[in-house]
Amino acid sequence: MWVRKIKVWQVSLAFVVWIGTMFLPATVNQAKLNTNFDYKKSRENFFYFLFHQVSFYSFILGLVLLISLFLIYRKIKFSVYFSFASLIFYISFLVIAFPSMIIFNHSLSGNTFGAELSIFLTFYGAGYIIAVLFGLVAFLLLFLYSLRIKEC
């Protein structure tokens, strides 16, 4: 099975790339806003988003991730459940819940869905999307690697 071909360095590289993409600006797109706000001075990248805007969910995600990494390090077969939980929590919050919360809460107040989607993309931009996609790949590789430990 192809799950056995996943190596530790591939999982580590995926997490390093994910952390590297977190330094991309993830909030204010200055060209679309046409304001004199300088996003380079605002310190608002994906780290700022995780630790200041959604700190409780980030703490839970980090805790589940650390538990799964510890269990994988100890080669405990139960680690597959924690790595799956971290993958599902990552998908449910950063891919589904947070964008939906921004888009649908404001669209119910009278704006159209398209207008709220463009506002979300203006404020969170490509940096958010790229960081979330690389994080999704990293968490998926972690889950598949933990399946490899369960099979052995």
Per-residue pLDDT of the chain (152 residues; tens, 9 = 90+): 576 788 899 999 999 998 888 877 654 444 545 554 454 545 556 776 777 777 888 899 999 999 999 999 998 888 899 999 999 999 998 888 888 877 776 656 666 777 777 777 777 777 788 888 999 999 999 999 998 887 76
- The letter for the amino acid at 64 is V
The confidence score (pLDDT) of residue 115 equals 75
The confidence score (pLDDT) of residue 47 equals 72
The confidence score (pLDDT) of residue 106 equals 62
The confidence score (pLDDT) of residue 30 equals 47
Q: Phi and psi (nearest 5°) for 23? A: -80, -10
The confidence score (pLDDT) of residue 131 equals 86
SS3 of the chain: the string is CHHHHCCHHHHHHHHHHHHHHCCCECCCCHHHHCCCCCHHHCCCEHHHHHHHHCHHHHHHHHHHHHHHHHHHHCCCCCHHHHHHHHHHHHHHHHHHHHHHHHHHHHHCCCCCHHHHHHHHHHHHHHHHHHHHHHHHHHHHHHHHHHHHHHHC
Q: Tell me the helices (H) and strands (E) count for the chain, helix number first.
A: 7, 0
The confidence score (pLDDT) of residue 88 equals 95
